[in-house]
A = this chain, B = another copy of it.
Amino acid sequence: METILRFKKDELMDFVIRYMTKLGVPEEDAKIVGNVLICADIRGVDSHGLIRLGSYYGNRISKGYIDPKTPYKIVSETPTTALIDGGNGCGQVVSHKAMKLCIQKAKASGLAAITVNNSNHYGIAGYYSMMALEHDMIGLSLTNSQPLVAPTYGKTAILGTNPISVAVPSYSRYPYVLDMATSAVAYGKIQLYEKKKEHIPIGWGVDEDGNVTNDPSKIKPGGHGALLPLGGMEITAGYKGYGLALLVEILCSTLSGGKFLTNVGGPAKPEPTAVSHFFMAVNIEAFRPLIDFKKQMDDMIGLLKTSPLAVGREEILVAGEKEFAYAEFNEEHGVPLIKPIVEELRSDGNKIGVPFDIHPIQEE
């Protein structure tokens, strides 16, 4: 097991702000980036947390691939919609503004949707859908991303892992928060199996010929092979996951006029990524009294959680439940970071003269 160091959230946030502002990001924007990244670590989505601060954002801002000022602008707007040019800035900053605007519009109009082009990686999709929860609305957040996934009958990476996140408030239960890639698994999971020299399950990816494989080393999107969409092969309905990935692509890039499919960049490409996002907010009160809706959410979740368990299982979970429970623990005990990430934050900070001079409150 890796050593886990726990830090006070405020102290980590302070470091992120010092680090990002040193790179030219305005303080208010740096706070947004920090909130999104730390939220990922708190919810247990380490792959999208502070691990990316230097390696992705810091690195790409330094090289000029991301504009630290995020000079986004609203290209077109109606009371229920907007199209925003992300100004090749920090994805978190324009996405936070877009979702705020979406919520504001939905408050007045019942529904609102905003699409964003010319942006960059925005962190966890769930951060923005969950922004709707504080306003007792349903939130939706989608983004396209660098090509990693093969379409059904294809053999190369054409689609991103294009996540879908939807957040729905409840009364006394945890909210429903779906936050899923439309690929069967994340690429990181395949790399982990390769490192452990283990076979991967059938349905995760295809080799250079487009044949399903249990050998993780045969799946190197961009080089050879690719991830499979949710559902895996055709016989287990992988074309549905492919259809969903394409839906995300359409609402993000086609609706915004952004770059699509293999034209979307990733961390390896020395140029702006031109990622697109899509956000939506639904004002529940426009349909029925909020309290009735929230109580029915509780009843529905209750029915699910008391339904018969498979042999050997302990609990039926609802999307987001595990993450909320984990986040509650971490809010109390400190944000968990594995040692190599802390070392990286320290070294990234030193590189630009921003010392990581904070101390863990606990070591596990």
Residues of A at the B interface (CB closer than 8 Å) are 76, 78-81, 83, 109-113, 115, 138, 150-156, 158, 164, 166, 168, 176, 178, 180, 184-185, 201, 203-204, 206, 209-211, 230-232, 235-237, 239-244, 246-247, 249-251, 253-257, 260-262, 282, 284, 286-288, 292-293, 296-297, 299-300, 303-304, 307-311, 313-319
Contact = CB atoms under 8 A, between A and B. Distances in A.
B284 A255 contact: yes
B303 A158 contact: yes
Given A232-B236, A250-B300, A113 B282 contact: yes
B176 A250 contact: yes
The 10 closest A-B pairs by CB, nearest first: A210-B310, A153-B313, A80-B110, A243-B319, A209-B311, A81-B286, A178-B243, A155-B310, A180-B240, A81-B110
A309 B257 contact: no
B257 A80 contact: no
Contact of A154 (B156, B288, B308): B308
B80 A307 contact: no
Given A203-B236, A257-B288, A296-B254, A307 B156 contact: yes
B151 A300 contact: no
Given A111-B112, A210-B313, A83 B240 contact: no
Task: Identify whether the interface residues of A are mostly helix, strand, loop, or mixed.
Answer: mixed
B153 A256 contact: no
A112 B113 CA distance: 10
Given A203-B232, A261-B304, 8 more contacts: A83-B288, A109-B109, A164-B244, A178-B244, A184-B237, A185-B237, A243-B319, A255-B293
Contacts of A115: 287
B260 A296 contact: yes
Contacts of A166: 247
29 contacts: A78-B109, A78-B286, A80-B80, A81-B111, A83-B287, A151-B316, A153-B314, A154-B304, A154-B307, A154-B308, A176-B250, A178-B244, A184-B236, A184-B237, A185-B237, A203-B236, A204-B236, A211-B310, A230-B230, A230-B231, A231-B232, A239-B317, A246-B319, A250-B297, A253-B300, A254-B293, A256-B287, A260-B300, A261-B304
